Amino acid sequence: MSLLELQGVTRTVELAEGAPLHILRGVDLEVEVGDHVSIVGRSGSGKSTLLNILGLLDEPTSGMLVFDGIPLERMRAGERDRRRGRDVGFIFQQFNLLPGRTALDNVMTPLLYATGRAFWRRTTLAAQMLERVGLGERFDALPSQLSGGEQQRVAIARALVRGPRLILADEPTGALDVETGATVMALLDEVAEASGAALITITHDVNVAALARRHYRLDSGVLTATTAGVSVAGR
């Protein structure tokens, strides 16, 4: 069953002087429920722009995005915000943890915007997710007291605590050493598979990309299906 579909998506920025900047050029992509897709691209290829569109943060200039059977153009701004908060989990390279808050507080943050049972059980749900990523004894630790791998685990727990249907991982191992990065990716894939979420990994690292089941390369705004292990020239 299709969760997310892009049809002929473009993104163009009008510059004050000169020709328009074409960032994405006719992107087609279909992501099934429970899928794991990797998108490899060097700096400037359009990865961040594509991520923002996939995460319902930006709109395409042309083309169509369909999320869970509903075209983006039919969603009002409020509905789009609710869907993004409920159904999309973001994992970033730099973790973006709140520095003065404990690991438990950081994971609990998305649940402050939940309603009903999820809101009232936010402490329990956050604790359970930290246990799931192997940080059951680090509830009270501040980000400054955690290793890079532990911080990334907190970020993963935060992204997954609301049970998103789509997980977007943007260079999720870029700030980690090779061994820690492999461990984190294995954990992310395991948790995503267990929850039935679709996982899209956007990276320049072909070793991280190879862990996915389907592989794409983004080059100058053009998305092309590839086989695992394809290198990214000039990164």
Tens digits of residue pLDDT in 68-79: 999 988 888 888
The percent of residues above 90 in pLDDT, for the chain, comes to: 54
- Please give the mean pLDDT across all residues of the chain: 89
Q: How confident is the model at residue 186 (pLDDT cuts 50, 70, 90)?
A: confident
State the pLDDT at residue 86: 87
**CB 28, CB 199: distance < 8 Å:** no
Specify the pLDDT at position 26: 95
Encoded amino acid at 160, one letter: L
pLDDT at 53 over 90: yes
Question: Does pLDDT of 189 surpass 60?
Answer: yes
Q: Is 153 in contact with 113 (CB distance < 8 Å)? A: no
Residue 233 has pLDDT above 80, yes or no: no
CB 156 within 8 A of CB 91: yes
To 10 degrees, what angle do helices 178-195 and 148-160 make?
20
Q: Could you give the CA distance from residue 181 to residue 196 in angstroms, rounded to a whole number? A: 22
- Residue 109: name the closest of 170, 171, 167, 160 by CA: 160
What's the CA gap between 209 and 167, in Å, rounded?
A: 15
Nearest to 38 by CA among 213, 222, 224, 233: 213
- Please state, in angstroms and rounded to a whole number, the distance separating the CA atoms of residues 37 and 28: 13
* CATH number corresponding to 35-60+73-226: 3.40.50.300
The answer on pLDDT for 212 being more than 80 is: yes
- Residue 166 Cα distances to 27, 37, 88, 103, angstroms: 19, 11, 5, 23
Task: Using pLDDT thresholds of 50, 70 and 90, give the confidence band for residue 150.
Answer: very high
